[in-house]
Amino acid sequence: MPNSLGRILVTGGAGFMGSHLCERLVDAGHDVICLDNFFTSQKRNIQHLLTRPNFELIRHDVTHPVWLEVDEIYNLACPAAPGHYQYNPIKTMKTSVMGAINVLGMGKRCRARVLQASTSEVYGDPEVHPQPESYRGNVNCIGPRACYDEGKRAAETLFFDYHRANRVNIRVARIFNTYGPRMHPFDGRVVSNFIRQALRNEDITLFGEGAQTRSFCYVDDLVDGLIRLMAAPDDCTGPINLGNPREFTVRRLAELTIELTGSKSKLVHRPLPADDPSQRQPDITLATQRLGWKPTVELREGLARTIEYFRSIRFEDFRPPTPNY
Ligand code: NAD
Ligand code: UDP
């Protein structure tokens, strides 16, 4: 239901990206159900929505079935930062696979559109550059990143099998590195690490030489892409890349963060983690053609907004992932 108001479920809706998506959907007048188990997020991300009459919050784990009546489902529930998804790798795989089965079952029963937040990690350490959707990837299936990469690959398989076998109306977005306000300050991702370190004048930790590249997309642009994909015609199943095609080295990101924060931090080198992709850049030709979408926020501007957010929070209010998941 692209143009009318509907009831929309956002799994992982209290997370970094999910909270921005919920906000946009609530502002547009939809009835939004945010479902989250708060493994990697805090209620503060959606606190400002709790008083809105068209917003509901459910504490639930997507690995268990849930019975709801909805028109659209955005499936974002999954730890996304390497430190978070490696914390309990078996649970990460279960979240991707069983979470996909549960939302697809709901989509089948309710005839709802179901959008999967997949990832550029399905390309692994890519040998093709930039990465088009047709590239099948280079993933180490037994490495420390596999619980996430292979979990997301299996979820894509489930989406396309439910589509072919049960005619479920699916959308699969392959999301590249996204950043912005409400990132968890201790999630270990490069943007949050560098800003936190810079604001405290601590050493900035470059893994390896910092020559590896990433393409950073500001969260507002990404959320816009997700909403366009959900509203697109039914043959627009994807997979479709969503990300900012401007590629930067990790060293350049560190230098820019120091410049924008006015920090006295020094760059230090740490060992490169296993299977760390050396380059990553989305080919967004398909998203531009099919969705009329391309990112608009430059890294300098998006980083400045993210730094402003990090200045506004107290780091000691944030906790590591919830134990026992
Ligand atoms: P995040 O960790 O901030 O958000 C994930 C949310 O899912 C959290 O609120 C967490 O508590 C919740 N969650 C985790 N396991 C759950 C479970 N079993 N049941 C219910 N809720 C659960 O991460 P994010 O960056 O906002 O990522 C959102 C989605 O986008 C994820 O699926 C991630 O894989 C995908 N993605 C993100 C990026 C990125 O750069 N941020 C890139 C590619 C894909
Ligand atoms: N990285 C880094 N220093 C840090 C954190 C990360 O140099 O303190 C590097 C990391 O090795 C990777 C890149 O930054 O090459 C992006 O890491 P992130 O964990 O944000 O995301 P992903 O590897 O999943 O793209």
163-190 pLDDT, tens digit each: 999 999 999 999 999 999 999 999 999 9
Q: Which of 40, 73, 75 to mutate to test the pocket of ligand 1 (most atoms within 8 A of CB)?
A: 40
Tell me if 30 is assigned to some domain. Answer: yes
Tell me if 210 is assigned to some domain. Answer: yes
The two tokens of residue 18 are 């999910």
pLDDT band at residue 155 using 50, 70 and 90 as cut-offs: very high
Tell me if 153 is assigned to some domain. Answer: yes
Instruction: Considering every ligand atom shown, identify the ligand nearest to the alpha carbon of residue 196 and give its number.
Output: 2
- Residue with CA closest to ligand 2 atom 12: 276
Q: Which of 186, 206, 226 is nearest to 82 (CA)?
A: 186
CA distance 76 to 118: 8
Q: How far is the CA of 197 from the centre of ligand 1 (A)?
A: 23
Please write the tens of the pLDDT for every residue from 84-106: 999 999 999 999 999 999 999 99
Is residue 292 over pLDDT 60?
A: yes
Give the distance between the most distant pair of CA atoms in the chain: 58
pLDDT band at residue 1 using 50, 70 and 90 as cut-offs: very low
Mean pLDDT score, 243-249: 97
Whether residue 245 contacts residue 284, with contact meaning beta carbons closer than 8 Å, is answered with yes
Is residue 305 over pLDDT 80?
A: yes
Tally of domains in the chain:
1
Is residue 322 over pLDDT 70?
A: no
Q: Which of 198, 234, 224, 235 is nearest to 288 (CA)?
A: 224
CA distance 253 to 260: 10
Q: Which of 48, 155, 14 is nearest to 96 (CA)?
A: 155
Tell me if 302 is assigned to some domain. Answer: yes
Is residue 325 over pLDDT 70?
A: no
Domain of residue 121, residue span: 7-248+252-317
pLDDT of residue 3: 44
Beta carbons within 8 Å of 58's beta carbon, 6+ residues apart: 33, 34, 35, 36, 66
Predicted model pTM: 0.97
Question: Residue 272 CA: which ligand 2 atom is closest?
Answer: 11
Q: How far is the CA of 78 from the centre of ligand 1 (A)?
A: 4
Please write the tens of the pLDDT for every residue from 193-241: 999 999 999 999 999 999 999 999 999 999 999 999 999 999 999 999 9
Ligand 2: residues whose CB is within 6 Å? 81-82, 177, 189-190, 193, 205-207, 210, 212, 214, 250, 273, 276
Tell me if 324 is assigned to some domain. Answer: no
CATH number at residue 22: 3.40.50.720
pLDDT of residue 312: 97
Q: Which of 17, 43, 58, 102 to mutate to test the pocket of ligand 1 (most atoms within 8 A of CB)?
A: 17
Tell me if 54 is assigned to some domain. Answer: yes
Tell me if 173 is assigned to some domain. Answer: yes
Query: Which residue bears the tokens 């134990």?
Result: 323
Q: How far is the CA of 147 from the centre of ligand 2 (A)?
A: 17
Tell me if 290 is assigned to some domain. Answer: yes
Output the CA–CA distances (angstroms, integers) from residue 46 to 23, 41, 131, 257, 314, in the order listed: 8, 10, 34, 27, 17
Please write the tens of the pLDDT for every residue from 60-72: 999 999 999 999 9
pLDDT of residue 316: 87
In this structure, the chain runs to a length of: 325
Mean pLDDT score, 133-152: 97
